[in-house]
Structure 1
Amino acid sequence: MIDDITAQLRAGRQVLEALERELAGRIASVAELLADSLAGGRKLLVMGNGGSAADAQHFAAEIVGRFKLERRGLPAVALTTDTSILTAIGNDYGFDAIFRRQVEALADEGDVVVGISTSGNSRNVQEALLLARERGCRTIGLLGRDGGSIRDVVDLDLTVPSADTPRIQEGHITIIHIVCDLVEKRLFP
């Protein structure tokens, strides 16, 4: 077990080192984009499936509640949380429409819409991001592996360079925490 634990911790460190080496500038760009949007009265919409749904909720909670600083709440919605909406849309329009329909209802020009997908190929996330772009939103993908098909439809992608889902998810939550920290520092100096 110790060897397995050591190997997993080593793999996690390697992903974090790759984020620092390959994505630091892009993470800063995402934080600036989100801070500018929130400062301009826009909101964050965020979505994903499974563990990425949990990350979407975590992201929205840090923005609405607080990350580290005592400050006013900022507008963010996780499109993964309302079971009545999700099941009604899924039943009436299909699973691929569960996020797209919410973007149709909630997204305004200038909002930031974030899709989280460890494979980069979640069709329901991609469909929502495509509509968000049509509506004049800025789009961001927190992705894994090679970025999948979503990489080509977002304004900014943060693709964690790993093929291991747990390591990708660890990268995503690290990125989310860094972005929240930078947004707070920029908006509430």
Structure 2
Amino acid sequence: MKVEKTKLEGVVIVTPARHGDNRGFFSETFSTRAMEQAGLPSTFVQDNLSRSATKGTVRGLHCQAPPHAQTKLVRCLRGAILDVAVDARHTSPTYGEWVAVELSDDNGSALLVPAGFLHGFITLTDNVDVFYKCSDHYAPETEMSVRFDDPDLGIDWGIPADQATLSGKDGEAGSMAEFSTPFDLHGGPRTS
């Protein structure tokens, strides 16, 4: 398993080995042992699968507040996405900064997004399946979001904002300036 750091502490790209032959390939996509040996979180309690029919579909930017904050391990099983993590940790030196990583069925990579970060993605192809592991169960009462096209964040999604396909909820999300972060520097509950 290859682990690549990003500019945001804790957000890493995880790429499992693929063993191929004339039939195709085999890949161990998740191993508690390998994650622990790499010093990465390895306890997940919920798996999610989203399917997006059209290129330009945006899901995010989302997070859950403590005590149900989630670490996510995100992988694209079919098609391709641009996966984005935004630092939402109070007093972090990289607060409000973001990374974007292309995940696809071709590259087999996953993005580990720790608690304390907003997460979202845009589909780069039609017919996209995204699978992600979560460290806590879905708790809608703790859901928070920030608008994907917030000019203060300046995320390059690769398309004009008015061409993105959004849910009604994502279209109504507020700005990062209005976001009252619940996270401390370590992704836990903010105390000040």
Report the TM-score when normalising by structure 2. Answer: 0.29
Higher helix share: 1
Larger RCO: 1 or 2 (CA < 8 Å, sep 6+): 2
Higher strand share: 2
Report the TM-score when normalising by structure 1. Answer: 0.30
